[in-house]
Chains A and B, each alone.
Chain A
Amino acid sequence: MAEIQIKNVAKTFGAYQALHDINLTIQDQEFMVLLGASGCGKTTLLRIVAGLETATTGEVWIGGRRIDHLPPKDRGIAMVFQNYAVFPHLTVFENIGFGLRMQKLPNDEVKRRVERTAELMHIEQLLKRYSGELSGGQRQRVAVARALAMEPDVILMDEPLSNLDALLRMEMRAELKGVLAESNTTAIYVTHDQVEAMSMADRISVMHQGKIVQAASPIEVYRNPAAEFVAGFIGNPPMNFLPATPSGNGKWTVGGQDMNGPVSSETLKFAIRPEDLRPSETGLKATAKVVEPLGAHLLVTCDVEGALFRAVLDSDMTVKPGDVLTLAPQTDRVRWFNPETTLAVA
């Protein structure tokens, strides 16, 4: 059992507050992804869990044990670093076996476990090499193998795929997910790549300026963003926003059109994903500005009453810049946000 609980964790560097009151519980064997833009505090949070950084306030618990005062080696964690940190003076074999040797395991046990993890990561033919003789992708595999060989309760990964090329990244993504699913470890995985997050995570924690804005399953984060930031960050292209003025009783005026919405007297923001728009008889009047054929789809950047508005349409439609489209939003996919609090309105 290795449930991770992060309770009221805050971190300041001098006068700069990198993390604000983080509360997060990660279930045993869950794959949690920390997603957010550069500088939002993902690495800092991960390093606090690892024990490489001390929280200014707050507690960290793993498996029902408070561990924030323990050194990294006593926390039952293993970590994969962004730049791999493969020891240059040791062979791949000794790198993977490093932690096991520190535990003073007998030689044959070390050999057995190193060979098994090497096989799992498909690097069994590299065991005699030094890190200088490996490619980036191979080094990355060694780093993961070294962490897995420890058979840790918790594995922490800081953008482990960010230095790989796109194709290799896609391949490793699937492989890593498979290996971790079999290993019964709880994982925290840091990335700023939303595709990686969506495809690997059991749950995603979206971070913004040192806070966790939403922690939910990938589909939930995508469909029901809890805040405007999440809606604008997740999805490529992100959600469209339009100002909405209430005309009373759950009726709204959006882009000159009437819509049904929540009952509220304040102005709200209407939001819809670009792929949830269909050309139709009635709907938002959008003037096409840029048309980008993307193979499977057609990405049309339009203008709705002066606001930027994107639509992903079927690729056999013919749209030219200047055309006026009538786009109907799929009603069950429409979301509303309060511009004051930036939070979603039910």
Chain B
Amino acid sequence: MTSVTTDVAAPDARKAGKFVYVTAVVLLCAWVLVPIYFLLINTLSSPDTVNSFPKPFWPEFDLGSLTFFAGFAGMLTALKNSILVAGMTMIMSIVIGAPAGYALSRFDFRGKELFRLLILLTRAFPLPLLALPLAVMFIQTGLDDTVFGLALVHTTLAIPFAVLITFSLFSGIPIELEEAAWTLGCTRLTAFTKVVLPLILPGITASAIFAFVISWNEVFAAAVLTIENRTLTAFLLQNLDTSPLHLKFAGGFILVVPALIFIFAVRKYLFAMWGIANR
């Protein structure tokens, strides 16, 4: 922000600042929304319209591309695999991530700060580097080309977020509530299930959905580690470059929409992850 000392310049500077701000917001929105808008238009248009120019402003609501897409061989299996992998990822990342988040917020232990940093650093390590050793290891252990194997990889991707989100959720619950429960006859476990869990359940749901989306959108590991049991992303990657344009749009649409809806539903908890006040 600019700080202005002379009162003559103040109104101008403020106006300019506001202009920059509004422009930035508009540009950012456009950057996100315009591709989605074209995706929508093209998905819901007949194949002819997709290839023509200029585009209509309103979509034609021609479901041809989508119905063809749904009938595409292997498409439904891939969808089923995607849901399975994302579901497993969701469960595993919460089961592993939430206790870690709880420990981080409630206990003091040596190396706590380092641990927090390391959790984030796992995301800084590029997956392509890991792909080959992982593939080899998976073949050795027989985990290659299985839904569970892929879910494991996705879980490691989702865990940092699960830990950070639940850490901030647990930190938002005063320790006194738990202590009060202990003095009223609870063990650590019953205090957790009767007091803490009901209070963080919405947040846990959000972080589970986020894990789901991470897995749903992940394409690299999915493409490398599966052959028969492809997830939707890997399946589309494999098939779409040979498909006509309108099918590409339909495929992109099917990938983007669930992710968008989910992220929109849990957006306030994603802010909580970075310690920005939620609610």
Interface residues of A (CB under 8 A from B): 50-52, 71-73, 77-79, 81, 83, 85, 87-89, 98-99, 102-103, 146, 150
Which residues of B have CB within 8 Å of A79? 179-180, 183
Report yes or no: A78 in contact with B183, Cβ–Cβ below 8 A: yes
Contact check: which of B177, B182, B185, B190 meets A87 at CB < 8 Å?
B177
What's the A-B contact tally at a CB cutoff of 8 Å? 56
**A266 CB, nearest partner CB in chain B, Å:** 48
Report yes or no: B177 in contact with A72, Cβ–Cβ below 8 A: no
Report yes or no: B185 in contact with A85, Cβ–Cβ below 8 A: no
Q: Is B199 an interface residue (CB 8 A)?
A: yes
Q: Is B7 an interface residue (CB 8 A)?
A: no
**B172 CB, nearest partner CB in chain A, Å:** 11
Report yes or no: A71 in contact with B176, Cβ–Cβ below 8 A: no
Residue of B nearest to A99 (CB): B184
Report yes or no: A52 in contact with B182, Cβ–Cβ below 8 A: yes
Instruction: Identify 5 residue pairs between A and B in the complex whose beta-carbon atoms are under 8 Å apart, listed by A's number.
Output: A51-B183, A52-B179, A73-B185, A99-B184, A102-B184
- Interface centre among B182, B183, B195, B198, by most A CB within 10 Å? B183
Report yes or no: B182 in contact with A83, Cβ–Cβ below 8 A: no
Known: A52-B179, A102-B190. A89 touches B199 (CB 8 A): yes
Chain B, range 174-192, C-beta contacts under 8 Å to A:
174, 176-177, 179-187, 190
Contact check: which of B179, B198, B199 meets A81 at CB < 8 Å?
B179
Interface residues of B (CB under 8 A from A): 174, 176-177, 179-187, 190, 194-195, 198-199
Contact check: which of A52, A88, A146 meets B184 at CB < 8 Å?
A146
**B105 CB, nearest partner CB in chain A, Å:** 17
Report yes or no: B190 in contact with A89, Cβ–Cβ below 8 A: no
Residue of A nearest to B190 (CB): A102
Which residues of B have CB within 8 Å of A81? 176, 179-180
Report yes or no: A85 in contact with B199, Cβ–Cβ below 8 A: no
Which residues of A have CB within 8 Å of B190? 102
Report yes or no: A73 in contact with B183, Cβ–Cβ below 8 A: yes
**A172 CB, nearest partner CB in chain B, Å:** 19
Which residues of A have CB within 8 Å of B176? 81, 83, 85
Contact check: which of A77, A83, A87 meets B183 at CB < 8 Å?
A77
**B2 CB, nearest partner CB in chain A, Å:** 41
- Interface centre among A73, A77, A88, A103, by most B CB within 10 Å? A73
